[in-house]
Amino acid sequence: MMKTRSAMPMSMPTPGFATGPVDMPPPFGPIAVAQGLGSGPTLLAAFDAALLDAGVANYNLLCLSSVIPPGSRIERRRWHTPPQAWGQRLYCVLSQAREDRPGHSVHAGIGWVQDAAAGHGLFVELHDHDRARLQQDLAATLHSMQRQRGVELGPVHTELASARCEGEPVCALVIAVYASQAW
């Protein structure tokens, strides 16, 4: 038996989403979008240094898929880690790229679209060796994700981080932090 699916027209609202403003409190504080750059004697040490630079090194990262809940606010800022948060869970969307070949660059990026009234939206995380292609791919992916859902959530926003290996391995990362939680 062959099954077929039909695409939802762009004019149809996404099932489960209100079409107008939603008066819903955010499920947590603002989502912080931060970037980090690091270098070290190994690729993993460079990644750890980039986590430190972004303010998220002392957490256990739990990477999420790319859906922004209703009521969310997004802020571009470094994440602050209080001492008592050591080892807690950190819910995030993470893009990271590592490089250990001298003279080569890497770029990590997160893009997002968000409904201005209701706060729901989409994140996408990618990395590349070509910064312009990364920027294009973030936008193209977000446009595709919206089209597939039959929604238009607003303009594309991006945050990019770049690193060039000049000897020691490097890492560039961008992280969207939702919240931390104790075990």
pLDDT, tens digit, 9 for 90 and up, residues 122-161: 999 999 999 999 999 999 999 999 999 999 999 999 999 9
Domains of the chain, residue spans: 31-181
Sorted by sequence, the CB contacts under 8 Å of residue 140 that are 6+ apart come out as none
Place of tokens 């968000």: 114
Q: What is the C-alpha separation between 85 and 12, in angstroms, rounded?
A: 43
Q: What is the pLDDT of residues 19-71, one digit of tens each?
A: 444 455 566 789 999 999 999 999 999 999 999 999 999 999 999 988 999 99
Record the pTM: 0.84
Amino acid type, 71 = G
Q: What fold, for 31-181?
A: Pyruvoyl-Dependent Histidine Decarboxylase; Chain B (3.50.20)
Sorted by sequence, the CB contacts under 8 Å of residue 173 that are 6+ apart come out as 35, 36, 37, 47, 50, 51, 54, 94, 95, 96, 97, 108, 161
